[in-house]
Structure 1
């Protein structure tokens, strides 16, 4: 991993991407003892409008807590792709929900596409875990934290009744993304 790694999760408000960012930051800081900062912003609509969560992970203290040159970006909707899939560094990673984003942002980065929402809805029966599917995929594509740390951080955040569902969602996202690499 580079000295400083920046990840942006973007989509519609209510899709759990703020939570995904918090979980990733906790995996890095608590489980892997790295430095991490997480920030978020919502569109004026809060639910339904574009929102983003940014996570910065570093081996040394973080002097500026906002993303500047994004190493990896997730866009779950066309609006979030149009609005937030910018500033991705050359050779970086862009993960798109293949069903929701039909116009790919252009840039000198690697684009991956997965049916994230459909996977959560059809394969897992719960659209609410799409953020965990996406998180698993982003960790697989970036290796910014280990698979195990990501899973532990996810499971530490969910109620006991939803541990199995979230474990399956994380694993499915991770495996689907690994198959693309």
Structure 2
């Protein structure tokens, strides 16, 4: 059986977590030439309600495109943590945005805490790139794709006017993710 890695990005609709999932899938499939599947779901409220994006990355064909046993999960809001931080495998990873997730989900997984949205706002001046900061951190924590593949996929996805901002956001998230591991 091919090695399969499952990542779930969750937060509020409008935070760009569906985009983060698409970028990760493209980093794996297009840049690294691996197999990847991405799926998404929104709460009934769409913008503002809980949403999630799941990415399956594998060395071989993917027979089921939905996450079953999550290796790593990002939770950007309390609602998304409560709703989607379940099913993380034993020894898996949970990354929470501590400004919005106050009641930390419990389980047999490693929880990492980061002020993701505040980092984007205060260090980059733009809260809108919090999803790219989070993506960089998740790639650093999981190693599921290389740093370079993640950056290449981010830069291929953003408009020319925002390349520098997103490059900085990704690098910042990656460095903060690596610091969490230290």
TM-score w.r.t. length of structure 1:
0.99
For residues 122 and 7 of structure 1, the distance between their equivalents in structure 2, rounded to whole angstroms, comes to: 27
Q: CA deviation at 1:177?
A: 0.9
Partner of 2:75: 75
Q: CA deviation at 1:122?
A: 1.0
Structure 1: stretches of 5+ with no match in the other structure: none
- Summarize the alignment of residues 82-93 of structure 1 with structure 2, pairs less than 5 Å apart: 82-93=82-93
- Summarize the alignment of residues 32-71 of structure 1 with structure 2, pairs less than 5 Å apart: 32-71=32-71
Partner of 1:119: 119
For residues 173 and 114 of structure 2, the distance between their equivalents in structure 1, rounded to whole angstroms, comes to: 9
For residues 180 and 17 of structure 1, the distance between their equivalents in structure 2, rounded to whole angstroms, comes to: 21
For residues 179 and 120 of structure 1, the distance between their equivalents in structure 2, rounded to whole angstroms, comes to: 16
For residues 136 and 113 of structure 2, the distance between their equivalents in structure 1, rounded to whole angstroms, comes to: 14
Partner of 2:179: 179
Q: CA deviation at 1:101?
A: 0.4
Structure 2: stretches of 5+ with no match in the other structure: none
Report how many aligned residue pairs link the two structures. Answer: 180
Partner of 2:109: 109
